[in-house]
Amino acid sequence: MLVAAAVCPCPPLLVPEVAAGAAPELDAARDACLDAVGVLAAARPDLLVVVGPGDKPAGPGGNPAVGPYPAGAHGTFRGVGVNLDVTLGHAPEGVTTAGRPLPQSLTVGAWLLGRAHWTGAPVEGLALLPTAAPEDCAEAGRAVAGRADRVALLVMGDGSACRTLKAPGYLDDRAAAFDARATEALGSADLDAIAALDATLAHELKAAGRAPWQLLGGAARDAGLAGRLLYEDAPYGVGYTVAAWS
């Protein structure tokens, strides 16, 4: 059963070493994310699952990096020019993990847990296809919630990337309204509103958080969790929302 959740954005710029001189610009978002992780720790889960969108393949063809990732899986920020590696929690004693690297969203999640000095429940990862159907996301959420008596989720994902002319997806007049709906739903744990987020519109607005958010919505059915909005802004033209559910 799901007992707590934290919703956080997943830009590499959240990591001060990546942001370098611009790091103070995301201090408020960073602090809010750490507060949300604190809510997870306070829930004393038996299992923590970090969920986020999978990376797109670098070249034509191939599939995004999706699926489960075990405790101890490795991620790196070398792709954004920083010699910094992270692991997703800790591998069980005597187990060596040398599998595929974490996608960006889970790498940022692993960094957040390290920054928060997570020592609680075992940690696993799950990367979703960004275009996954809402019903498939909800079904995956129900499966994750059934993994242990007390499950917590760290849900990594950005809102639209089209809030300004300089945003990665350029300006789209629909972006602000989409982000407002998503933020309201996430901040109030409104499961029906989360389920109603339009997957096609989210894809057009490059809102990679939509699939992880809808997994959370499925996981939280019948859990009776209340939501609290901790942060909302659109630095660099990308919607960032931080919320805690408990």
Q: Residues 24-42: pLDDT tens digits?
A: 989 999 999 999 999 999 9
Domain of 63, in residue numbers: 1-243
DSSP letters, 161-205, are: S-SSTTSTT---TTHHHHHHHHHHHHHHT-HHHHHTS-HHHHHHT
| Residue pLDDT, tens place only, 170-186 | 999 999 999 999 999 99
According to the model, what pLDDT value does residue 65 have? 82
Q: pLDDT-based confidence at 63, cuts 50/70/90?
A: low
- Residue 120's pLDDT band, with cuts at 50, 70 and 90, is confident
CB 162 within 8 A of CB 15: no
CATH number, residue 218? 3.40.830.10
* Residue 207 banded pLDDT, cuts 50, 70, 90: very high
User: Above 70 in pLDDT, residue 98?
Assistant: no
The pLDDT assigned to 38 comes to 97
Number of independent structural domains in the chain: 1
Who contacts 115 (Cβ-Cβ below 8 Å, separation ≥6)? 34
Exposure string of 187-224, with b = 16+ CB inside 10 Å and e = fewer, is bbbebeebbebebebbebbbbbbbbbbbbbbbbbeebe
CA distance 243 to 157: 12
Element (H, E) at 246: none
**64-85 pLDDT, tens digit each:** 689 999 999 999 999 999 999 9
